[in-house]
Structure 1
Amino acid sequence: MGFISILLFAACISSVKGNYQYVLAPNVIRLENEETLLVGIFGDGKNQIVTVYFEYLKKHISKNMTTIKDADHPVEVTIKITGDDLFKDIDASPKLKEKPKTIKLVCEGPYGKQVRDIALSYTPGYLIVQTDKPLYNPEEKVNVRVLAMDESMKPIKDKQLAIDLISPTNMTVGRISFDPGSNKNGFYKGQFEIPPFPDFGTWTIKAKLGGKLDTYAIAPIDVREFVLPTFGVEISTGREYILPNHTKIDVTVSAKYVYGKPVDGSAGLEINIRKKGDVSDPKRVLTIGRKPLNGSADFEVPIAKLLQSFGGQFPADAVLELSSTVYESATGKEESGADDSVMFVNCPFKFDLSRSKTTYREGFYYYIQIKMLHANGQPAGRKLFNLTIDGGSPNQHLTNEDGHYLAAHIQPENQNLKRMKIKVYDPAFENCAHELVLEQYTGERQIVVEKVEKEGASFIQANTDINIKQADKYSGILILITARGKIVQTKYFPPFKTPSFKLEQDVMDKVSPVGRVFAFMCTNAQLVADSSIFM
């Protein structure tokens, strides 16, 4: 008997004389949530009975007995662990006051019994908190709406839910409770009233599911004495980033009355630089002299002078903070505006290779998944980039409209190398290249599963080192596609060197934006498995 934990899913597998039984389950079981397990067999067995259940304090929970027709027909089993299963009749015991962190998954069948611990989660589902506006005055009504959804994005209607109004001093000043079954569509609505003499600052609306669940969500609101502005101030720069070779940045301050007429007056400009993760230092503000304003005023900020005021070094990944106070000529009334949308960057693009494998197999093609982004994190669609392997000549590629690229058929320049270095970069910014170092996988048995593109369509393909002349030594191959902890599709193949199947559109829709494919086989009572993320 052997156990394996592969990313999102956990497997229990055991064998007798080349026949195997298995159960695949999420690595985390969520309380009060229906979870799907996959139960199956490998080998030549027929109509085998496999029993799956959870065990807690010697109590069997959600027991399911399933008949597996053959290796071609694994069965999906739905289970659910409730609060009553874990806590009914035991809450009074001082030894059991803490919530259990794990629960035992048990699989019994013709080829033995397997047991493994799986983590328990008390935060199933999703809560989204909305208010009718972001700013409130004393004694003003706050209208709140909460959308409660389960893991399948279906409305939660059978749970207790509470919505709290919390002050800046962390005091709960109001609560609205909903009993199970009191809602029909998953939307919970309520209303609070701000006290007549409140603490000014950021208040919090908090929604939480009841019972033993810890699922919650919050939404901040501002409470302050409101004074109606007579005009608004906006700051624009016309750019998203500042590069080391930029010499200046043009800033425009605009001011208009609420009815649209331009303001006549004067405007000043204050500049600060905030490093990533830091708080602005008011002592480091650089002030640009005031200028006449007739609807707008233009400022030219020399980058070199700006950097000298902040230590002289180029502050890569920092944010340029701009603020302006406009004074109206006729009355002297003032209003302010701010902007922090411009970043200091060494390169206008960045690359995310986190969905690529960090190992490669000798003799197997390696597929690298590339996501190209603008400096502000937005996808860089239809952009050219260079890719090199082990310092070889660069090859130029184009991302799709979502900024993604799947580079196929990459093999090391030198087959004797035990590692391979891949480098991707914008053609004009090689100094900002992103590198990925791959180590050679040297396991005795090998399987690689990927999403690949062939003839304008998407396929899931597994490459194995199966010797077809000795196919009887292999169990066959199970390929499983998952998304958000749910099984989306399964495919079984007899022992084969390169099994593959086309990804249909309905599957792509279910896994969007990100899915995971998992493949495994057994040989000589050993599990051989692989998985990868795809977009």
Structure 2
Amino acid sequence: EQEEQQSCKMKWSLVSVLLLISILKNTLGERFFISAPSVFHVGAKEKVLVQMGGEYLNKVVTVYLEDQGALMSEKKKTQCSTENDINIVELMIDRNRWSESKRRSSKKPYLDLVAEVFGDRKRKITKVLVSDHRGYIFIQTDQPMYNPTQTVKYRIFTLDHMFRPYQGTIITSVFNAAGNRIMKSLKNSEKGIFSGHFPIPSVSESGTFKITAHYDDDEAKVAVREFKVQKFVLPSFEVSIGAERRYILLNDQQFDFTISAMYSYGERVNGAYHCEFGFMTIGQKSPHIISGLELTGSVIDGRATATLQLKNIDWKQLNQTLSDLQNSGSQLFVGVFVTNIQNGEVQEEKLYLPIFPHKYKIDLSRTRSYFIPGYPVEVVAVVRYPDGTPAVGVPVNISIASQQDSRITNEYGGVYSAFNFNATSSFRVDVSSDGLQESKNIEPASSPTGSYLYISFTHKVYNVGESLFLTFRTPTAPTNGGYIYYMVLSRGMIITKGSLVHGTLTTGSVSITADMVPFFRLIGYYHGNNGDIIADSVWVDVRDECEIKVTVSTQNR
């Protein structure tokens, strides 16, 4: 029962943090707490948080990773001299040792995270997941198409798993249209980027060539860039279909779209277009064309507009409705053919439109599932369009019991509202917009000792450089005094940490930095009188901003 209560209080540990040792009873005067990322990346420095108290103060703790007794990282030592100390050590899995370990065994990718306290014979051990994913590789070419004997110029970007520039050894290969490798090179990406070039042989067959790149010991994860090689032919024009949104709603009466036709060198096409419509069901290789819906018209100066009247579709003849298509996951098909009046050349373009039942999606996952009696109930909702983009400036209605509030979504589609009312039993939160309603049941928090932690702050989108002001509230402060500890997590990493003298109302602030973009979670906790960890967490949005400023300019020569 006690373990279940602790797991409820420590749900935050699932947010990219793994709890190693929870706590030893305060009656023994001992307290030992370590947290670490739930996933360790090979070759990357991962932060491990260490916090100790009581009889563990001024004792050296050694933290390291091992596999069946074999050391997989350096041993890092640290110690806490006061109760408010929170230390961070960095552990990195040795790539060579990890490769040797994988050759010895095909077991699942786990290692033991070990903590040893000087003078304590018993080690503290838990398993952590290991990822071989070193990072990402992106390849660019200066053209999408080449002729034989031309030179291909390419550029390769290497990033780590946090999307930061990564310096490493890259194996690059070039394959011709027949699939034969015609070039292979080993290069080092300094500062996460390098460039290269190679000539296309004069005897090359037409077809699709490709450049591949992977890290020297990671052949399973290959980046690919394809380009075409063909003998000189007259350039053809391209057709594109534009629309305000690239999906259909069940209550839509029509679908408006534009057609553009242009050569790569900028000449605009004059001619005619022909459109056909249908639907594509899951498992089909080609769309089912609906007869009688064809549209034709003129393309003038490379442009045309068209409208599909959805009400003109004979659903009885098709023996199904638009709602049936939506329920089955089918997509509406749009096919456009454009004919150049000058030379008779015909080019086509296709568009597949998913079908959604509502204009918006409402996400209540950031609203707490539990409330603390006597404290405000904060409702956080995020409204998005069906394609996942934030719905900005949308009116939203929020209601709890007999209380209601109206808000307008911010630039991230978010709305925030706080309600003060006395509730002792579960209740429902209703959030609605444009006829769509989402609900969530909120349960009262339960604690056998009556110990809680409630973190509040001003809900908004913060900028890098701003300060986040926090208030930590507890119904009763522990009789042993102590501290409230907090840590900031972003993208699975511990960004910063701190501690504050514990009281029934404690305030503090955190400076917003670039490595907290685009959001972070702040976790606060304290040690209760009986040794439990009492915790709470909040989600904070940060306005997206590049950490490095780049200026592009031209020079006259």
TM over 0.5: yes
Query: Size of the alignment, in residue pairs?
Result: 511
Structure 2 residue 485 is the aligned partner of structure 1 residue 478: yes
| Structure 2 Cα separation of the partners of residues 147 and 479 of structure 1 | 36
| Structure 2 Cα separation of the partners of residues 440 and 175 of structure 1 | 65
SS in 1 for 2:60: strand
SS in 1 for 2:288: helix
TM-superposition CA deviations, 1:362-420 (whole Å, max 9, x none): 33333333222233322222322111225x4542101222322333x346x772433x3
Change in Cα spacing, 1:410 to 1:303, as seen in structure 2 (3 Å) is: same
Change in Cα spacing, 1:264 to 1:500, as seen in structure 2 (3 Å) is: same
Q: 1:442 deviation in Å?
A: 2.1
The partner residue of 1:18 within 17, 26, 29 is 29
Which residue is equivalent to 1:145? 155
| Structure 2 Cα separation of the partners of residues 368 and 215 of structure 1 | 44
Structure 2 residue 445 is the aligned partner of structure 1 residue 441: yes
**Matched AA of 2:127:** D
| Structure 2 Cα separation of the partners of residues 236 and 297 of structure 1 | 10
| Structure 1 Cα separation of the partners of residues 395 and 271 of structure 2 | 46
Q: 1:72 deviation in Å?
A: 1.6
Which shows bigger deviation, 132-141 or 109-118? 132-141
Which residue is equivalent to 1:389? 400
| Structure 2 Cα separation of the partners of residues 259 and 193 of structure 1 | 24
| Structure 1 Cα separation of the partners of residues 390 and 79 of structure 2 | 47
Contact 1:165 1:192 in 2 (8 A): no
| RMSD, aligned CA | 3.7
TM-superposition CA deviations, 1:271-325 (whole Å, max 9, x none): 23346x7666333355515334444555442212236275323344865432221
| Structure 2 Cα separation of the partners of residues 78 and 441 of structure 1 | 36
Change in Cα spacing, 1:67 to 1:347, as seen in structure 2 (3 Å) is: same
**Matched AA of 2:438:** H
The partner residue of 1:514 within 503, 519, 535 is 519
**Matched AA of 1:71:** E
The partner residue of 1:56 within 55, 67, 72 is 67
**Matched AA of 1:354:** S
Structure 2 residue 377 is the aligned partner of structure 1 residue 336: no
Which residue is equivalent to 2:547? none
| Structure 1 Cα separation of the partners of residues 284 and 144 of structure 2 | 23
Change in Cα spacing, 1:425 to 1:224, as seen in structure 2 (3 Å) is: farther
Q: Give the gaps of 5 or more residues in structure 2.
A: 542-557
SS in 1 for 2:311: helix
Contact 1:160 1:177 in 2 (8 A): no
Q: 1:33 deviation in Å?
A: 1.0
Which residue is equivalent to 2:552? none
**Matched AA of 2:308:** V
Which residue is equivalent to 2:532? 526
* Residues 390-409 of structure 1 mapped to structure 2, 5 A cutoff: 390=401, 392=402, 394-407=404-417, 409=418
Change in Cα spacing, 1:347 to 1:167, as seen in structure 2 (3 Å) is: farther
**Matched AA of 2:525:** F
SS in 2 for 1:471: coil
Q: 1:44 deviation in Å?
A: 7.6
TM-superposition CA deviations, 1:247-276 (whole Å, max 9, x none): 33344444456676664433211123346x
Q: TM-score, normalised by structure 2?
A: 0.78
| Structure 1 Cα separation of the partners of residues 246 and 374 of structure 2 | 44
Contact 1:48 1:68 in 2 (8 A): yes
Contact 1:270 1:288 in 2 (8 A): yes
SS in 1 for 2:137: strand
Structure 2 residue 295 is the aligned partner of structure 1 residue 271: no
Contact 1:38 1:77 in 2 (8 A): yes
SS in 1 for 2:133: coil
Contact 2:142 2:153 in 1 (8 A): yes
Structure 2 residue 45 is the aligned partner of structure 1 residue 34: yes
Contact 1:209 1:215 in 2 (8 A): no
| Structure 2 Cα separation of the partners of residues 239 and 84 of structure 1 | 50
Which residue is equivalent to 1:291? 297
The partner residue of 1:75 within 73, 87, 102 is 87
**Matched AA of 1:33:** A
| Structure 2 Cα separation of the partners of residues 164 and 448 of structure 1 | 56
Q: 1:77 deviation in Å?
A: 1.0
SS in 2 for 1:510: helix
* Residues 151-166 of structure 1 mapped to structure 2, 5 A cutoff: 151=161, 153-157=163-167, 159-165=168-174
**Matched AA of 2:515:** K
Structure 2 residue 241 is the aligned partner of structure 1 residue 235: yes
Q: 1:82 deviation in Å?
A: 0.6
SS in 1 for 2:374: coil
SS in 2 for 1:434: strand
**Matched AA of 1:218:** A
* Residues 422-461 of structure 1 mapped to structure 2, 5 A cutoff: 422-426=429-433, 429-430=434-435, 432-444=436-448, 446-448=451-453, 450=455, 452-453=457-458, 458-461=468-471
| Structure 2 Cα separation of the partners of residues 218 and 478 of structure 1 | 43
SS in 2 for 1:84: helix
Q: 1:63 deviation in Å?
A: 1.1
Q: 1:127 deviation in Å?
A: 2.6
Contact 2:170 2:189 in 1 (8 A): no
Which residue is equivalent to 1:207? 213
Change in Cα spacing, 1:385 to 1:505, as seen in structure 2 (3 Å) is: same
Change in Cα spacing, 1:505 to 1:234, as seen in structure 2 (3 Å) is: same
Structure 2 residue 196 is the aligned partner of structure 1 residue 184: no
Change in Cα spacing, 1:513 to 1:200, as seen in structure 2 (3 Å) is: same
The partner residue of 2:135 within 95, 101, 125 is 125
**Matched AA of 2:111:** I
| Structure 2 Cα separation of the partners of residues 59 and 21 of structure 1 | 25
Q: 1:139 deviation in Å?
A: 6.8
Q: 1:50 deviation in Å?
A: 1.8
Change in Cα spacing, 1:307 to 1:531, as seen in structure 2 (3 Å) is: farther
Which residue is equivalent to 1:7? 15
- Which structure shows the bigger proportion of residues in strand conformation? 1
| Structure 2 Cα separation of the partners of residues 31 and 262 of structure 1 | 52
Change in Cα spacing, 1:68 to 1:167, as seen in structure 2 (3 Å) is: farther
Change in Cα spacing, 1:280 to 1:369, as seen in structure 2 (3 Å) is: farther
